[in-house]
Structure 1
Amino acid sequence: MSTGDGFKEKTANSGKTAKPLRGDYSAMRDDFTIDQGWSHYSAEEHDRWRRLYERQSRLLPRYAAPEYMDCLSRLDAGDGIPDFERASAKLRQATGWEIVAVPGLIPEDAFFGHLASRRFPVTNWIRTEAELDYLEEPDVFHDFFGHVPLLMHPVFADYMEAYGKGGLRAMKLGTMDQLARLYWYTVEFGLIRDGDNGLKVYGAGILSSAGETPYSIEDSSPNRVAFDLERVMRTLYRIDDYQETYFVIDSYDQLFTETQQDFGPIYERLKGQPAIAADAVLPTDRIYTRGTGARKLGKSQAAE
């Protein structure tokens, strides 16, 4: 995750609100990292982590991608808020990645720079008791439980590094909106086809949410559409509710291969093309599920 210009606005990869940032930014280094301060977590905060971990873990066998489940088990992080140094030792051995602690959302160039160097920024604070079911800004549970496990997977780890390098280039080209949509619909809210077992979740924004995990797979409301790179890069997304469309990859190899190409010609083709609505279904889409849109309709009717 990253912030907008000068920390004036909060952003989730280009989805912005006017609320002030959380986290203690007073002790940041030049690269926006801080010490995790693991010894300062309270017993209540470790207990909150355990309850969040246990709640999500009960959902994983039914909904999560098997690769994610395997990587999560290897991190052995269920007993309390993880020590980033210990987790980084396992990551470095598996794929050469490591975790760096940050106070919360950080500028885009810093975020991409860390990814390009195989460092994943993880927020060091945990949500409050009142935020167990919904959190607007990513905390340590979202960042670690959702994102870190698949950094143990060699192909996905390579994809994340490539995305960081692509982000630095996109900033220079002024094409961040398109690239942000790719991150949103893969890293945060991606689904994967798991052979005869149907669709599974690999996106961190889903896996760290008790409500959106079953919704993304079973609910009749959202569209589930086969991944197409340019389609994804044109598609708007929701930052204030569950997604109206999920994109499905066949494999992590497919994701890495399709995003390894030079994005320069793609940006040129997309220039001037209108964005696609978050709930749209196109004639060219390969559809797994055509959604009813019932969730959006229900919310609209309730607001009347």
Structure 2
Amino acid sequence: MATELQFPPEGAADDWTIPQDWQRYTAAEHGMWDHLFARQAAMLPGRVVPEFMDGLDMLRMTKPGIPDFDELSERLMKATGWQVVAVPGLVPDRVFFEHLANRRFVAGRFIRTPEQIDYLQEPDIFHDVFGHVPLLAHPVFADYMQAYGEGGLRADGMGAIDRLARLYWYTVEFGLIRHEDGPKLYGAGIVSSYAESLFALDDASPNRIGFDLERLMRTKYRIDDYQQSYFVIDSFEDLLRQTVETDFAPLYAGLEGSEDIEVEAILPDDRVYHHGTQDYARAKKIAA
């Protein structure tokens, strides 16, 4: 959620929060949410981790229209002690980490236009709320998100935010989880995207690699297109355990000076669930 701005914009509180102003949403904006929601809700069952669908039901996010953050936070607080707060857009790293460490999830309040229905650069309310919030109702994942925020505050003092950002990218945003009938989606960047929900599981192009913390922190990622590699965790419990039990200071120190791993690379000691063809990325590169 990093931004170049160092101070809150006009109308924002010191912690960068703003009122959601739910009553100001238009019928067209509620309609856009309903369209996006219906499209994802129809195709995600069986593809997304079951805990995500449970969260949608528990938080009553299946009701029509853009969720009211006050109502959503009331239900979420009862489940795991989290709340959703509105921000004007991307916020500085430290502000983002402080909110997570205090069980506050920051969400943009705007929703994409019809022209942006399949892609927009800055995350909107559908990505932030539909993609992220359902799993915050799951106690273990909720604890992981808080632990990540606390780790971010420590990383900020060590000059290691870029390394830690890769952990967020490859888990919270674009993570897969091992399941008895094959990998499932859980990353918000995937589950809020119709096309990537299909690509991440079904396409032969990307690699699907077993989660390894150090390896992941050395790996570059794509911000402009589908990922060329996805990392598969064993469970939310294992992800939380590794995050809490790892001493990140020597890990960061050990990574200093190490070469980054390219997005498409497969290493000899990787646990490979699927060795991707990379056909999609090659075709896009040729077309460019």
For 2:3, the equivalent position in structure 1 comes to: 3
Q: Distance in 2 between matches of 1:112 and 1:300?
A: 35
Q: Write out the 4+ residue segments of structure 1 that deviate beyond 3 Å after TM superposition.
A: 4-7
1:58-107 CA deviation, whole Å, 9 max, x = no partner? 11113111111111121222301000000001110000001111111111
Indicate the SS of the match to 2:38. helix
Indicate the SS of the match to 1:241. coil
1:64 to 48, 52, 62: 48
Shift of 1:26: 2.5
Shift of 1:290: 0.2
Answer with 204-213 or 255-264: which moved more: 255-264
* Structure 2 residue 25 is matched with structure 1 residue 41: yes
Indicate the SS of the match to 1:76. coil
Indicate the SS of the match to 2:184. strand
Shift of 1:164: 0.4
- Contact conserved, 1:4 with 1:108, CA < 8 A, in 2? no
- Please, what is the CA RMSD of the aligned residues? 1.2
For 1:255, the equivalent position in structure 2 comes to: 239
For 1:116, the equivalent position in structure 2 comes to: 101
The count of corresponding residues between Structure 1 and Structure 2 is 286
* Structure 2 residue 105 is matched with structure 1 residue 132: no
Indicate the SS of the match to 2:54. helix
The one-letter amino acid of 1:83's match is D
Shift of 1:4: 3.5
Structure 2: tracts of 5 or more residues without a match: none
- Contact conserved, 2:174 with 2:188, CA < 8 A, in 1? yes
- Contact conserved, 2:5 with 2:91, CA < 8 A, in 1? no
Q: Distance in 1 between matches of 2:285 and 2:119?
A: 20
The one-letter amino acid of 2:200's match is S
Indicate the SS of the match to 1:148. helix
The 3 A distance-change label for structure 1 pair 5 and 276 is farther
Q: Distance in 2 between matches of 1:2 and 1:157?
A: 21
Answer with 207-216 or 261-270: which moved more: 261-270
1:199-242 CA deviation, whole Å, 9 max, x = no partner? 10000000000100010001000000000000011100000000
For 1:12, the equivalent position in structure 2 comes to: none
1:163 to 137, 148, 151: 148
For 1:246, the equivalent position in structure 2 comes to: 230
* Structure 2 residue 197 is matched with structure 1 residue 219: no
- Contact conserved, 2:110 with 2:124, CA < 8 A, in 1? yes
Answer with 25-34 or 228-237: which moved more: 25-34
Indicate the SS of the match to 2:209. strand
- Contact conserved, 1:125 with 1:139, CA < 8 A, in 2? yes
Within a 5 Å distance, the mapping from 1:66-81 to structure 2 comes to: 66-78=50-62, 79-81=64-66
- Contact conserved, 1:155 with 1:252, CA < 8 A, in 2? yes
Q: Distance in 1 between matches of 2:9 and 2:114?
A: 22
* Structure 2 residue 122 is matched with structure 1 residue 103: no
Indicate the SS of the match to 1:156. helix
Identical-residue share of aligned pairs (%): 56
For 1:175, the equivalent position in structure 2 comes to: 160
- With normalisation by structure 2, the TM-score equals 0.97
For 2:272, the equivalent position in structure 1 comes to: 287
Indicate the SS of the match to 1:162. helix
Indicate the SS of the match to 1:247. strand
The one-letter amino acid of 2:33's match is W
Answer with 63-72 or 212-221: which moved more: 63-72
Q: Distance in 1 between matches of 2:117 and 2:9?
A: 23
